[in-house]
Amino acid sequence: MRASVLLEKGRIEMQQRPVPAPGPGDVLIKVSSVGICGSDTHYLREGRIGHYVVSAPLILGHEAAGTIVAVGEGVQKARIGERVSIEPQRPDPTTAESRRGAYNLCPHMRFYGTPPIDGALCEYVTIGADFAHRVPDSLSDDAAALCEPLSVAIAAARKGGITAGSHVLIAGAGPIGIATIQVAHAFGATSIIVTDLDETRRTLATKFGATQALDPRKTDLSELAADVFIDASGAPAAINSGIDAVRPGGTVVLVGMGAETMELPVQTIQNRELVLTGVFRYAHTWPTAIELAASGRVDLDRMVTATFPLEAAEAALNADRTAGTIKAVVRL
């Protein structure tokens, strides 16, 4: 099969790789669409994310969809032909985290496109059958792939406790921010304020449901009294100003990957009894993601602003440098 392989920082090459065989409990999927995530781009440009280091050739890509073409032992053959959205993780079911349902926190997780585990920028992949989620025919291949970033937004909204009438502040109008806007709206939030330094992204945010899109350099956020602040930027300045905008007893959810350490307004957190939490991937989100996308409550297709063939995967990984890009997708 064809595969786009990151050989080392800044160097991608098309290769021929053996088609993987589905093991017991697995399905083999012919990949149709792969969304490009900021983490993929980070591996290309930096060769690492925190302690995950590219030390051997690696296939990137974890936002993926396709069609089941073969099954391993123990999986019903009736599943062959199903169109599926791939939840790109293999937790160890025996760990304490997995047993209590928080399988995203499994310390032995094998996650697509994270060293040393190959991802989906190739023609065929395998995954555990339970992590290949059937999608309705009304859902496009691209939308099925983007159920992955949508799942991040759902996990963030759940952590924030967004519900009917919530007042939500979101920092960052990139792909995760845009998905979070739509999820907040679907969950019933009545005020969804987004901050971003880029005017184009602020305009996009309003088109996807933000009630206001603000330039944080020109706006004092401290009087907003938001119920929930979700950071999708990773920028220390955005996080600190967002925390200051949360009402007493509110919730702060950190999603964006930014600095490994930063100073936080501890007295504000203590005096307002704020709940401060993070989001690491997702668990039990795919059924909700598929329902939101299939019902039209979330528009994933409109988030796709550029498409590329597999041979142009490097260009797709650099598409974020083009103004107005929300989500680049590789189509096979």
- pLDDT value for 258: 80
The mean pLDDT of 8-19, rounded to a whole number, is 97
Beta bridge partners of 132: 86
Of the listed ranges 47-51, 83-87, 107-111, the least confidently predicted one is 47-51
Looking at the predicted structure, is the pLDDT value of residue 257 above 90? no
- pLDDT value for 299: 98
Task: Yes or no: say if 150 and 289 are a contact pair by the CB < 8 Å rule.
Answer: yes
Cα 71 to Cα 65, 82, 88, distances in angstroms: 16, 11, 17
- pLDDT value for 149: 98
Task: Render pLDDT for 220-253 as a digit per residue (tens, 0 to 9).
Answer: 999 999 999 999 999 999 999 999 999 999 999 9
- pLDDT value for 50: 85
- CATH architecture for the domain at 152-278: 3-Layer(aba) Sandwich (3.40)
- pLDDT value for 259: 79
Enumerate the domain spans of the chain. Answer: 2-146+300-331, 152-278
Identity of the amino acid at 213:
A
Give the model's confidence band at 324: pLDDT under 50 very low, under 70 low, under 90 confident, else very high: confident
- CATH architecture for the domain at 2-146+300-331: Alpha-Beta Complex (3.90)
Q: State the chain's mean pLDDT as an integer.
A: 97
Q: DSSP letter string over 279-305?
A: --S-SS-HHHHHHHHHHTSS-SGGGEE
Angle between helices 199-207 and 175-186 (to 10 degrees): 30
What percentage of the chain has pLDDT greater than the value 90? Answer: 96
Name the 3-class secondary structure at 6: strand
Tell me which H or E stretch contains 238: helix 236-244
Check if 2-146+300-331 and 152-278 are the same fold: no
The mean pLDDT of 188-197, rounded to a whole number, is 98
Looking at the predicted structure, is the pLDDT value of residue 197 above 90? yes
Task: Yes or no: say if 231 and 239 are a contact pair by the CB < 8 Å rule.
Answer: yes
- pLDDT value for 301: 98
Encoded tokens for 131:
């992590």
Looking at the predicted structure, is the pLDDT value of residue 79 above 90? yes
Q: What's the rounded Cα separation, in Å, for the pair 325 and 304?
A: 8
Q: DSSP letter string over 143-173?
A: HHHTHHHHHHHHHHHHHHT--TT-EEEEE--
Contacts of 210 (CB under 8 A, 6+ apart): 170, 173, 181, 192, 193, 194
Looking at the predicted structure, is the pLDDT value of residue 173 above 90? yes
